[in-house]
């Protein structure tokens, strides 16, 4: 895009894909600087006082959720490749994932709560897999 | 006759199922109508458009309505839109009027839902007829207006606008769409991701990540604490009678209309609708001192307004293609899935789907009322379902939704994780999610409208001089920014006044 006069512009079709992203990037930059100028003191006060992330959060449950989710996502296609087009990658990985996540979130590890978590981990993926993959033929990993 | 062939027992069964599931989602604190629609979207793949919409609209109405249960019984808003219901609903429960408060809320929700449905039926076709005449310039300005309105109603104008433009920027990742007149060149894509990001990030995994995974991460950070139980909560007590609505008709109509109007404004959530209606009712009340201490009028205002949102939010979606709130943004996914584009031509080209949507909304409101009135004591128990059981199921459903949206692409599941983490980060640094989403959805259209207008007219001044509608839209944009600045100044004065007093 070139400016012939203050308002007149010529658009080159070959480079037209960069016009809008460039404009938006410039606006974002201006807005970011404006936020820093107008709220800089508040941001600085927040940064200098108080504790830094991740202090003060429940590390085990927060990072445990992320770690289990990443393992779940990595494992699904691998297991799915062993049983192509059956959705079993999803089904077989969801059972241990649900059980692990349920127990991670538990506050009281009794025989009863673990049994409920186990039953939930078995029943929920079975129902979802059966309805979506078997009844509706929806592709699952 | 074609419509009658769609209105099958399955259609109404799906509305009922959606409404009940929606009520359950709404009733559990931390889970929202948006999450309900996002999680259940994959179930609509093989249902067809009308049946799929029947389920999703049921979820929408049920999800908004269910929020009143924990708001009234536990003083925890089940959804953001029921925040003002806690103010008078919970004191009523403390006074032993829990069931009465719930039934007042449910009846008000029904009235709000029906009034907004009437507004949807009347206004959406008229607005669509008007919008058909819009050129790319007016369409671009409407998107710009939508972004400024949302930003103006955010906690901070600058952060709101920044979030909206960030959403636009991220939506531009990928190729400049050839099918809409672009040159097909890639931009903003790292080389190693070119294969995956040719069409950019898919909408639904982004939404599911922002509303599903991010919510779970925020809760996990806080230790996944279980909420208060219902022990000690008096649900029974003083019986509910319709006479409580005597003298409240104007409140009902005004609050429902406020909810509908706020819903029509793009991207503004239900919490704004209920706060506005509640404060208006308090201003007009002869007994404002009773508010906050268990005034039924407060529950009526809040609940009729947040359900008024449901029909209102569909008006811009079905007439302009601009979602009225984050839940209707996900509904766009349902249309896309069935190969239908929402916009000014939607109602004219799909009259049967349009009628089916109206009937589904009507049925959802009636079913919501009947289910909640008849089974409120059982529904109240839902608020105590443990999160360690629910959240893993939701995460699993999020994965199903993300994976199946493009018929089995694993990168979409990773997109869900990326945007789940982004949603968590946005929550920490207080970015505004609603403007971000609307920016993300409308970004590619805004680009086409802007660049094609420049290609055709060769001058920037055309955005100001094309038509009287363009001038009107610039006026509205200026008004929304001025409104936001004035609200910010008022807030600043109030806070400095409080500091002085201290």
Residue B496 pLDDT: 64
3-state secondary structure B350-384: CHHHHHHHHHHHHHHHHHHHHHHHHHHHHHHHHCC
Q: Do B399 and A7 touch (CB under 8 A)?
A: no
At B146 the pLDDT is 82
Q: What is the CA radius of gyration of chain A?
A: 26
Smallest CA-to-CA distance from B419 within B206, B185, B238, B251 is with B206
Which of B29-33, B202-206, B426-430 is least confident? B29-33
Question: What percent of chain B is predicted at pLDDT more than 70?
Answer: 94
Q: Rounded to whole angstroms, how far apart are CA atoms B233 and B235?
A: 6
Distance of residue A31 Cα from the nearest chain B Cα, in angstroms? 6
B245 touches chain A (CB under 8 A): no
User: Tokens 């190729």 — which residue?
Assistant: B175
- CB hemisphere CA count around B421 (13 angstroms): 11
ipTM over 0.90: yes
CA pair distance B12, B425, nearest whole angstrom = 40
| Res B501 pLDDT > 60 | no
Question: Which band of pLDDT confidence, cut at 50, 70 and 90, is reported for residue B433?
Answer: confident
For B390, the token pair is 């629910």
Query: Is residue B152 a contact partner of residue B476, using CB atoms and an 8 Å limit?
Result: no
Q: Among A15, A31, A47, which would you mutate to test the B interface (most chain B Cβ atoms within 10 Å of its Cβ)? A: A31
Which among B169, B170, B388, B427 is the top mutation candidate for probing chain A, defined by the most A β-carbons within 10 Å of its own β-carbon?
Answer: B388
User: Does some domain include residue B229?
Assistant: yes
The pTM score is 0.82
Question: B186 in helix, strand or coil?
Answer: strand
Task: Please tell me the predicted confidence (pLDDT) of residue B494.
Answer: 63
What sections of B67-202 are H helices per DSSP? Answer: 68-74, 85-94, 98-131, 136-152, 157-171
pLDDT digits 0-9 by tens, B149-206: 777 767 788 898 899 999 999 999 999 988 888 888 999 999 899 999 998 998 888 9
Q: Is B96 left (phi over 0), alpha (psi -120 to 50) or beta?
A: left
A27 near B CB under 8 A: yes
Q: Where is pLDDT greater, at B207 or B138?
A: B138
How far is residue B280's CA from residue B134's CA, in Å, rounded to a whole number? Answer: 35
Per-residue model confidence (pLDDT) at position A45: 77
Residue at token pair 């808003």: B77
Query: What's the pLDDT at B122?
Result: 92
Look at residue B17 in the predicted model and tell me its pLDDT.
Answer: 94
Q: Which residue of B has its CA nearest to A69?
A: B417
DSSP B243: G
Give residue B152's pLDDT.
72
H-helix or E-strand containing B187? strand B186-187
Do residue B392 and residue A102 have CB atoms under 8 angstroms apart? yes
Instruction: Give the residue from A104, A96, A140 showing the smallest Cα distance to A122.
Output: A96
For residues B261-280, give the mean pLDDT: 78
B58-82 residue pLDDT tens? 999 998 888 888 888 888 777 777 8
Has residue B109 been placed in a domain? yes
pLDDT at B237: 66
Q: Enumerate the domain spans of chain A.
A: 2-48, 59-135
Per the structure, the complete domain to which residue B402 belongs is given by: 2-494
- Give the pLDDT confidence score for residue B280 in this predicted structure: 85
Rama region for B247: left / alpha / beta (φ>0; ψ in -120 to 50; rest) = left
Q: Which of B187, B388, B400 sits opposite A105 (nearest CB)?
A: B388
Question: Residue B499 falls within a domain, yes or no?
Answer: no
Q: Which token pair is B181?
A: 């007149």
Residue B296 has pLDDT above 60, yes or no: yes
pLDDT of residue B267: 60
In a 10 Å sphere around its CB, with 0-12 CB exposed, 13-18 middle and 19+ buried, how is residue B241 labelled? exposed
Could you tell me the pLDDT band of residue B113, with boundaries at 50, 70 and 90?
A: very high
What is the structure's pLDDT at A95?
Answer: 96
Interface test with B, best of A14, A21, A140 (most B CBs within 10 A): A21
How far is residue B358's CA from residue B367's CA, in Å, rounded to a whole number? 14
Residues comprising chain A, all counted: 141
Q: What is the mean pLDDT of residues B477-496?
A: 76
- pLDDT of B270 > 70? The answer is no
DSSP string across B429-480: HT--HHHHHHHHHHHHHHHHHHHHHHHHH-BTTHHHHS-HHHHHHHHHHHHH
Torsion angle (degrees, nearest 10) of CA B391, B393, B395, B397: -140
**How many domains would you assign to chain B?**
1
Band (pLDDT 50/70/90 cuts) for residue B497 is low
Q: In this predicted structure, what is the pLDDT of residue B322? A: 85
d(CA B85, CA B77): 7
pLDDT at B327: 82
How close A114 comes to chain B (CA, Å)? 11
What value does the mean pLDDT take over residues B25-53?
A: 82
Per-block average pLDDT, block size 10, for chain A (141 residues)? 71 91 96 89 75 82 96 95 91 96 92 93 93 81 87
Query: Does residue B279 sit within a domain?
Result: yes
Cβ atoms of A121 and A96 within 8 Å: the answer is yes
B334 cis-preceded (ω within 30 degrees of 0): no
Residues of B in contact with A13 (CB under 8 A): 183, 455
Comparison of pLDDT for A71 and B335, the residue scoring more: A71
């Amino acid at each position: 895009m070139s400016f012939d006069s203050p308002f007149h512009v010529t658009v080159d079709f070959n480079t037209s894909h960069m016009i809008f992203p460039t404009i938006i990037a410039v606006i974002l930059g201006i807005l970011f600087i404006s936020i820093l100028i107008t709220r800089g003191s508040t941001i600085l006060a927040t940064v200098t006082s108080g504790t830094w992330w991740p202090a003060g959060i429940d590390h085990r449950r927060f990072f445990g959720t992320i770690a289990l989710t990443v393992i779940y996502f990595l494992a699904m296609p691998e297991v799915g490749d062993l049983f192509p087009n059956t959705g079993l990658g999803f089904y077989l990985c969801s059972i241990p994932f649900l059980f692990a996540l349920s127990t991670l979130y538990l506050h009281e590890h009794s025989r009863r709560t673990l049994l409920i978590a186990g039953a939930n981990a078995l029943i929920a993926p079975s129902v979802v897999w059966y309805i979506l993959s078997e009844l509706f033929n929806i592709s699952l990993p | 006759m074609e419509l009658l062939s769609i209105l099958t027992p399955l259609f109404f069964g799906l509305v009922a199922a959606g409404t009940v599931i929606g009520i359950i989602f709404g009733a559990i604190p931390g889970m929202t109508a948006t999450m309900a629609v996002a999680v259940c979207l994959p179930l609509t793949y093989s249902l067809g458009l009308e049946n799929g919409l029947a389920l999703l609209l049921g979820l929408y109405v049920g999800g908004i309505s269910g929020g009143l249960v924990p708001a009234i019984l536990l003083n925890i808003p089940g959804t953001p839109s029921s925040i003002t219901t806690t103010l008078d609903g919970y004191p009523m429960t403390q006074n032993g009027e829990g069931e009465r408060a719930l039934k007042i809320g449910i009846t008000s929700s029904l009235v709000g839902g029906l009034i907004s449905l009437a507004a949807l039926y009347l206004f959406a076709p008229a607005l669509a007829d008007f919008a058909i005449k819009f050129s790319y310039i007016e369409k671009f300005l409407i998107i710009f207006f939508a972004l400024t309105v949302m930003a103006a109603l955010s906690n901070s104008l600058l952060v709101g606008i920044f979030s909206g433009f960030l959403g636009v920027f991220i939506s531009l990742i990928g190729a400049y769409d050839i099918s809409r007149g672009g040159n097909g060149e890639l931009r903003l894509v790292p080389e190693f991701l070119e294969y995956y990001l040719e069409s950019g990030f898919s909408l639904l995994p982004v939404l599911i990540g922002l509303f599903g995974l991010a919510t779970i991460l925020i809760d996990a950070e806080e230790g996944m604490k279980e909420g208060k139980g219902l022990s000690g909560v008096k649900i029974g007590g003083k019986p509910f009678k319709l006479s409580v609505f005597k003298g409240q008709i104007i409140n009902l109509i005004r609050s429902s209309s406020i909810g509908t109007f706020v819903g029509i404004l793009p991207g503004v959530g239900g919490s704004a609708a209920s706060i506005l209606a509640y404060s208006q009712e308090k201003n007009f009340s002869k007994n404002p001192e009773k508010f906050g201490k268990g005034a039924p009028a407060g529950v009526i205002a809040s609940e009729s307004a947040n359900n008024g949102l449901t029909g209102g939010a569909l008006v811009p979606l079905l007439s302009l293609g601009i979602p009225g709130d984050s839940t209707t943004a996900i509904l766009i996914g349902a249309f896309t899935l069935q190969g239908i584009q929402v916009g000014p031509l939607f109602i004219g080209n799909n009259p049967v789907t349009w009628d089916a949507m109206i009937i589904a909304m009507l049925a959802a409101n009636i079913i919501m009322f009947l289910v909640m009135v008849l089974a409120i004591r059982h529904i109240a128990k839902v608020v105590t379902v443990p999160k360690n059981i629910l959240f893993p199921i939701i995460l699993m459903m999020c994965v199903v939704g993300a994976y199946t949206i493009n018929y089995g692409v694993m990168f979409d599941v990773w997109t869900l994780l990326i945007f789940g983490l982004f949603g968590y980060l946005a929550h920490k640094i207080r970015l505004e999610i609603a403007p971000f989403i609307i920016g993300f959805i409308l970004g590619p259209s805004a680009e086409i409208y802007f660049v094609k207008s420049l290609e055709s007219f060769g001058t920037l001044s055309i955005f100001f001089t094309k038509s009287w509608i363009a001038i009107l839209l610039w006026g509205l944009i200026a008004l929304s920014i001025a409104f936001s600045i004035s609200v910010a100044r008022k807030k600043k004065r109030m806070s400095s006044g409080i500091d002085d007093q201290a």
